[in-house]
């Protein structure tokens, strides 16, 4: 079973997700609150084997350096990786979802019907993007439409949602 805990970090209230199977753990977007993240990991005696970064904005990587020094064996996974990633017991796909930034990726755990979207898609809206990145954003939104509707979406800010809910209610996805 995939266990997902959300720790809200920093003044921009970024969602840092602690994703575990047993004690094996991935940190998705270690935002700017080192102590909250470390306390949670220590209290639950988790073994961090990977740090996943949806994009390198400060609110998503504020605690990255500290996490790397605390967990030196944890593998860093970001836009420099692609395709299928295997970090046993985790297997997931990296999907390029540029637009908000040009280093934006989503992490899709298809076996568990879960996707982490960072600042690409939020509940009811999408991440802000510069005018010249509009084509990239549209391309990314088109890819999102091919993800099964039942998949749960865990965004970088705000409440979780599902792909189906967003396809139905998110104005940015409706017209694509």
Minimum CB–partner distance for residue 11 and Zn ion (Å): 14
Minimum CB–partner distance for residue 91 and Zn ion (Å): 26
Shorter beta-carbon distance to Zn ion: residue 71 or 119: 119
Shorter beta-carbon distance to Zn ion: residue 25 or 156: 156
The token duo for 34 is: 């080192």
Does the footprint of Zn ion cover residue 57 (CB under 5 A)? yes
Alpha-carbon span 37 to 7, nearest angstrom: 7
Pairing of strands 24-28, 47-52: parallel
Which H or E run includes 1? none
Does the footprint of Zn ion cover residue 33 (CB under 5 A)? no
Does the footprint of Zn ion cover residue 32 (CB under 5 A)? no
The token duo for 10 is: 């920093």
Q: In this chain, which of 119, 141, 154, 157 binds Zn ion, going by CB under 5 A? A: 119
Considering only 1-9, 27-35, 50-58, 72-80, which stretch makes contact with Zn ion by CB under 5 A? 50-58
Alpha-carbon span 17 to 100, nearest angstrom: 20
Does the footprint of Zn ion cover residue 157 (CB under 5 A)? no
Alpha-carbon span 17 to 26, nearest angstrom: 8
Shorter beta-carbon distance to Zn ion: residue 57 or 107: 57
Pairing of strands 3-9, 14-21: antiparallel
Residues that bind Zn ion (CB under 5 A): 57, 119
């Amino acid at each position: 079973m995939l266990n997902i805990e959300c720790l809200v970090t920093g003044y921009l209230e970024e969602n840092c997700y602690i994703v575990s199977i047993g004690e094996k753990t991935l940190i998705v977007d270690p935002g700017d609150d080192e102590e909250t993240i470390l306390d949670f990991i220590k209290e639950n005696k988790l073994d961090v084997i990977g740090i996943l970064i949806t994009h390198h904005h400060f609110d998503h990587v504020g605690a990255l350096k500290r996490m790397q020094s605390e967990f030196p064996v944890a593998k860093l996974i970001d836009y420099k990786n692609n395709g299928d990633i295997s970090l046993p017991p985790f297997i997931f796909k990296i999907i390029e979802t540029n637009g908000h930034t040009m280093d934006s990726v989503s992490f899709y755990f298809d076996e568990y019907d879960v996707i982490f979207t960072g600042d690409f898609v939020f509940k009811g809206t999408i991440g802000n993007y510069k005018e010249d990145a509009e084509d990239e954003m549209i391309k990314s939104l088109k890819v999102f439409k091919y993800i099964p509707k039942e998949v749960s979406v865990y965004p970088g800010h705000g409440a979780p949602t599902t792909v189906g809910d967003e396809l139905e209610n998110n104005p940015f996805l409706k017209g694509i």
